[in-house]
Amino acid sequence: DAGVTQSPTHLIKTRGQQVTLRCSPKSGHDTVSWYQQALGQGPQFIFQYYEEEERQRGNFPDRFSGHQFPNYSSELNVNALLLGDSALYLCASSGTAGYTFGSGTRLTVV
Amino acid sequence: SQQGEEDPQALSIQEGENATMNCSYKTSINNLQWYRQNSGRGLVHLILIRSNEREKHSGRLRVTLDTSKKSSSLLITASRAADTASYFCATTQNSGGSNYKLTFGKGTLLTVNP
């Protein structure tokens, strides 16, 4: 049973560029959440998608947007990248019980 | 903003010893969860304790919850080198049916020396 799959594993982008990160949830899970984890910090909630709609959003600017597809997979898009967007981006899926996290995408903005 | 604060920030012990980490939070909660993270990779769920529970065990893990003090502790008994990781507490808040996010603390870095 595959867990949560995130791609790519690592990514280097230049300031001002746009990036798309992808997440496939664990089989049987219909809800996907995204978190940003800066170095030495705990993860911060970005948003959660359920039934292809953004159900809840954290304190992140509109440069951060997302999408959920009918197969429950999800994308996180970040526009106009800033150096401060460098972080580990974690996807978590959930169903009726508990969260399963992916291994994350390490984004470096130079 | 962070909901929880773990204490200590870093802990170094010898293999076989017990490790205790604490977590404090600010608002009323539905449940509190502990996660482990190895080398900045994905989070692994360890244990969940609900707001009406006081203690829970899972293998070598023991979690306590004191809602009056808004605090929790995670005890790892008979530690192993493989337990070396960062440990985070995360809460879901008790604010009706519209709050789904996990709010994490800053974590405790545990080093278990062989």
Is the CB of residue A34 less than 8 Å from the CB of residue A66?
A: yes
B35 token code pair: 């996660």
List of residues 6+ apart from B39 with CB closer than 8 A: B85
Query: Which pLDDT value is given to residue B41?
Result: 84
Residue B54, Cβ neighbours under 10 Å: how many?
11
Query: Which pLDDT value is given to residue B35?
Result: 95
Our CA angle for B21, B22, B26, nearest 5°, is 155
Q: How does residue B95 score in pLDDT terms, banded at 50, 70 and 90?
A: low
Q: Given CB atoms, is B39 within the 8 Å cutoff of chain A? A: no
Residue B103 predicted with pLDDT over 60? yes
Which residues in chain A are closer than 8 Å to B88, comparing Cβ atoms? 42-43
DSSP letter string, A58-104: -S--TTEEEEE-TTS-EEEEE-S--GGG-EEEEEEEESSS-EEE---
Residue A19, Cβ neighbours under 10 Å: how many?
18
Query: Which pLDDT value is given to residue A81?
Result: 98
Residue A51 predicted with pLDDT over 60? yes
CATH number at residue B77: 2.60.40.10
Candidates A79, A65, A9; CA nearest to A34 is: A65
Q: What is the pLDDT of residues A74-94, one digit of tens each?
A: 999 999 999 999 999 999 998
Q: What is the pLDDT of residues B67-92, one digit of tens each?
A: 999 999 999 999 999 999 999 999 98
A103 token code pair: 């291994």
Q: Which of B30, B101, B106 to mutate to test the interface with A (most CBs of A within 10 A)?
A: B101
In chain B, how many domains are there?
Answer: 1
Residue of B nearest to A10 (CA): B41
Q: Which fold has domain A5-96?
A: Immunoglobulin-like (2.60.40)
Run of H or E including B69? none
Query: Which pLDDT value is given to residue B27?
Result: 87
Residue A96 predicted with pLDDT over 90? no
- Average pLDDT of the segment spanning B45-59: 95
Q: How does residue B1 score in pLDDT terms, banded at 50, 70 and 90?
A: very low
A80 min Cα distance to partner chain B (Å): 23
Calculate what percentage of chain B has a pLDDT beyond 70. 91
Run of H or E including A24? strand A19-24
B3 min Cα distance to partner chain A (Å): 10
Query: Which pLDDT value is given to residue B36?
Result: 97
Residue A1 predicted with pLDDT over 60? no
- Average pLDDT of the segment spanning B90-102: 75
Compare CB distances from B101 to A56, A100, A103 and report the shortest one's residue. Answer: A56
Is the CB of residue A33 less than 8 Å from the CB of residue A91?
A: yes
A106 DSSP 8-state letter: E
Is the CB of residue A69 less than 8 Å from the CB of residue A7?
A: no
Give the structural domain span for B12.
5-113
Our CA angle for A34, A16, A13, nearest 5°, is 65
